[in-house]
Amino acid sequence: MEFTQRYVALGDSFTEGVGDWDPGSPNGVRGWADRVAQQLILADPAWGYANLAIRGKKLQQVLDEQIDAALDLEPTLVTLYAGGNDILRPRVSIDSLMAAYDDGVARLTTSGAVVVLFTGFDSSGSAVFGKTRGRTAVYNEFVREIADDHGAEIVDYWRMREFQDWGYWDTDRMHMSSAGHTLMAMRVLEAIKASHSLDTPELEARPALTRAGQLRADAQWARDHVSPWVGRRLRGISSGDTLRARYPSPVHPDWVRAGV
């Protein structure tokens, strides 16, 4: 099928959809980008959707592996988030990182596509990832400047106070839950001034934990999620090493008309 409008999503686990688990979808996830695509296609079937994002990718990998592939698809709309995996490394040069990012964004906007960028999340509420908050703040200033320079749109994740509620996060505390992905889809659609029929998710009430209960929960989280994450980095491997892009070329996925 030929599409006159093409939405191409680029990035890492954030855009691939990790945390929004769906065994019936490619790579076992859906995510906010799928939800954005669904709303666009339902409003106008001329839209096709490609998602090249793969979990674990660092910024240079996203640029090297996804920019050319995206441009080959002649996109109308591109969303790009990358850099979060770099910020979490023991050492990183934000200046060098963002110089490469600037070049990539310039190539995308020069193509004529509408480009949407994201600031990083304010991790002040995380005992582990809060230590990188300063790096993220510097990264965000670069993103805002680059967006201004190249005429890109911004979804300001940093300023979304709703995401301080853990109900919007998966059990790994690193990725958004299905509710978080739905809320993010709404914010992206608002940024590009697209109408949608999504509703603000209702969060399940979480029972208050005693201090001892919280400590047990934190210890379980560290065993189940933090230790494997650290172990992969020490071994130089990524959770996305064996995965392929979910939708490498523009399509109408099966779930578009299913209303899910």
What are 128-168's pLDDT values in tens digits?
A: 677 889 999 999 999 999 999 999 999 999 999 999 998 99
The strand pairing partners of 118, in sequence order, are: 155
Task: Provide the domain limits for residue 85.
Answer: 5-256
pLDDT value at residue 129: 72
| Cα-Cα-Cα-Cα dihedral sign, residues 190, 126, 124, 211 | positive
Residues of the chain with pLDDT under 50: none
Residue 38 identity: Q
Q: Rounded CA gap, 97 and 212, in Å?
A: 41
pLDDT value at residue 152: 98
| Count of structural domains within the chain | 1
CATH of the domain at 129: 3.40.50.1110
pTM: 0.91
pLDDT value at residue 222: 62
pLDDT value at residue 125: 72
Q: Rounded CA gap, 194 and 185, in Å?
A: 11
Token readout for 108 is: 């995308």
**Segment holding 9, helix H or strand E:** strand 5-11
